[in-house]
Amino acid sequence: MKKAKIGIVGVGIQGEQQLKAFKTIEHAEVLAIADLNEKRAREIGEKHGVPRIYTDFQDLAKDPDVEAVSICTPDHLHTEPALTALENNKHLLIEKPLATNVADAQKIVDEANKRGLKLMVNFSNRWSPPFRLAKDTIEAGGIGRIVNAYARLSDTIYVPTEMIKWSDKTNVLWFLGSHVFDLLRWLFKDEAKRVFGVSRSIVLDARGIKTQDFYQAVVEFQNGITAVMENSWILPKGEPFIVDFKMEIFGEKGAVRIDRTHHGSVRVVNEHRMTFPDVYVLPSENISVFLRAGLECFVDCLIHDSTPPVTGEDGLIVTKVISAIIKSSEIGMPVEIS
């Protein structure tokens, strides 16, 4: 069977994770990478044996042998490389969030539709084992009709202050909340009707990083379900994990409670502390099993010419709702979703 030839734009943390994951997928080949940072591009290219290394995404987009491009640039820098790839007739995988404003998200979706190209937004948590189990349980009627939910996905302050250099160009709602809202609408098979958001900028602002510390939001869905979402970027560095991910879904007949941070089955203790290693990674390579599963699905869609299960329209809806929560937090009033 032929291999799908992939190009990755942006080989920072996530771009390298994708590269490692694609390398384990039989029908994929990462033919090219592009990164503005030439040293990083060369380092990653040589380390992982990528044949073609570019610094300009335009050159990667024009490479006639590249069939599909994956965009792994920072949140606020997805649109230009995405449109360039589409204009060069490449299928597109794009990291979440699709874009950080509705107009850009719409442009990307329109361009892909106009050209009949595949567009998948990498909401990788849809392949994460606990959320898949929740989806199967809900669809089998295991908790009856859903009534309400609570979801928290937060990071320690290490993420906006040290891990990513562009935290003031995005915010925690784009970076983490986009994952959560996508999961909720996928699990509920429903769309948001009205949102109310609150945020504060105290801790990060005092450190000279102009971005929100957290968002708390109430989301009302069209069929009456309500969900509370909480996304913080200021958890203390002393937490045992960088990420704190919880979700509780309550139905008429039961509940699903997820603690994605750890499932407690593996504990490693040294002289100083106890840790719960992440068990959702392939141990030798430290590749997330659900990131890999999502990428494999994209590759299958390329090989078999089928429609990706997470589309540009999904990314556009998430962008609209996240924008509405931000607006609500700014005006201090609920915002209706058009």
**Residues in touch with ligand NAD (CB under 6 A):** 9-15, 34-37, 40, 57, 72-75, 77, 81, 95-96, 122, 124, 164-165, 175
Q: Which is nearer to ligand NAD, 124 or 199 (CB)?
A: 124
Q: Residue with the closest Cβ to ligand NAD?
A: 12
Q: Which is nearer to ligand NAD, 13 or 103 (CB)?
A: 13
CB 126 within 8 A of CB 204: no
* Number of C-beta neighbours around residue 133 at 10 A: 13
Q: Which is nearer to ligand NAD, 4 or 176 (CB)?
A: 176
- Output the smallest distance, CB 30 to ligand NAD, in A: 15
Q: Which residue has the tokens 């971005």?
A: 211
- Output the smallest distance, CB 255 to ligand NAD, in A: 26
- Output the smallest distance, CB 36 to ligand NAD, in A: 4
Q: 44: closest CA among 74, 8, 75?
A: 8
Q: Which residues contact 162 (CB under 8 A, 6 or more apart)?
A: none
Q: Which is nearer to ligand NAD, 91 or 260 (CB)?
A: 260
- Output the smallest distance, CB 109 to ligand NAD, in A: 17
* Number of C-beta neighbours around residue 224 at 10 A: 12
* CA distances to 133, 246, 327 from 320, in Å: 27, 24, 10
- Output the smallest distance, CB 334 to ligand NAD, in A: 27
Q: Which is nearer to ligand NAD, 165 or 207 (CB)?
A: 165
CA dist 296 and 315 (Å) reads 19
Q: Which is nearer to ligand NAD, 39 or 272 (CB)?
A: 39
CA dist 98 and 101 (Å) reads 9
Host H or E run for residue 179: helix 178-188
| Phi, psi (rounded to 5 degrees) for 334 | -65, 150
Give 210's DSSP letter: -
- Output the smallest distance, CB 73 to ligand NAD, in A: 4
CA dist 323 and 192 (Å) reads 12
- Output the smallest distance, CB 141 to ligand NAD, in A: 30
Q: Which is nearer to ligand NAD, 75 or 111 (CB)?
A: 75
